[in-house]
């Protein structure tokens, strides 16, 4: 964390770039400002594509599509790279002249596991005919995904970071 980051924290993130850089750090990315600027689109690709596909699945009220997205989420949550990161690295980035994406940090993978569980619940509700509840929960997932895509603010990563800080503090007090 740089002196400007600390200053921004003390004044409540008046600089949006500092706030978004902090959001990426909370997800576990350790990027220089130059790397962050180069990766601005690539880091949003997988969440943006997921967002689009979840919106389509909800609009179609398709439990099958939601379950397929859940399967993609399982892979994303338990492997070093999201499957859509491979699409970026081996295809899209060459079209737009972007750099390859780094592996997903552990906190991001944990957040992807949360989203996967959420998708399973939404898919189960759609399959059971509880469409209104499924659409309400799906809408909340869309809002969360849109937030991380637009601002890098990942609420599960924030919660995990808070938990880690809380646990470390307790361990430090106990020793």
4-13, 29-38, 100-109: least confident range: 4-13
Q: Is residue 24 part of a domain?
A: no
Q: Tokens 């890098």 sit at which residue?
A: 152
Domain that residue 115 falls in: 39-174
**pTM of structure:** 0.82
Helices and strands (H and E) in the chain: how many: 10, 0
Is pLDDT above 50 for 8? no
Q: Is residue 168 part of a domain?
A: yes
Q: Is residue 17 part of a domain?
A: no
* Dihedral (Cα; 124, 128, 133, 134), 10-degree rounding: 40
Where does the pLDDT of residue 169 fall: very low under 50, low under 70, confident under 90, or very high at 90 and above?
low
Q: Is residue 61 part of a domain?
A: yes
Kindly report the backbone phi and psi dihedral angles of residue 131, in degrees, each rounded to the nearest multiple of 5, phi listed first. Answer: -60, -45
Q: Is residue 12 part of a domain?
A: no
Q: Is residue 170 part of a domain?
A: yes
Question: What is the tally of structural domains in the chain?
Answer: 1
Q: Is residue 26 part of a domain?
A: no
Q: How far apart are the C-alpha atoms of 46 and 73, rounded to whole Å? A: 11
Q: What is the mean pLDDT of residues 150-154?
A: 84
Nearest to 121 by CA among 108, 109, 130: 130
Q: How far apart are the C-alpha atoms of 77 and 108, rounded to whole Å? A: 8
Q: Is residue 46 part of a domain?
A: yes
């Amino acid at each position: 964390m740089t002196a400007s980051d600390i200053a921004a924290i003390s004044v409540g993130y008046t600089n949006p770039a500092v706030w978004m850089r902090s959001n990426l750090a909370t997800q576990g990315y350790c990027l220089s400002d130059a790397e962050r600027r180069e990766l601005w689109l690539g880091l949003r690709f997988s969440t943006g594509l997921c967002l689009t596909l979840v919106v389509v699945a909800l609009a179609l009220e398709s439990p099958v599509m939601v379950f397929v997205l859940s399967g993609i989420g399982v892979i994303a949550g338990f492997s070093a790279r999201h499957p859509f990161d491979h699409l970026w690295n081996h295809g899209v980035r060459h079209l737009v002249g972007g750099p390859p994406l780094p592996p997903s940090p552990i906190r991001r993978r944990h957040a992807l596991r949360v989203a996967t569980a959420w998708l399973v619940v939404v898919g189960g509700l759609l399959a059971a005919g509880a469409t209104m509840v499924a659409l309400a929960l799906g809408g909340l997932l869309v809002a969360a995904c849109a937030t991380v895509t637009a601002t890098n603010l990942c609420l599960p990563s924030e919660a995990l970071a808070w938990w880690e800080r809380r646990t470390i503090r307790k361990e430090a007090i106990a020793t």
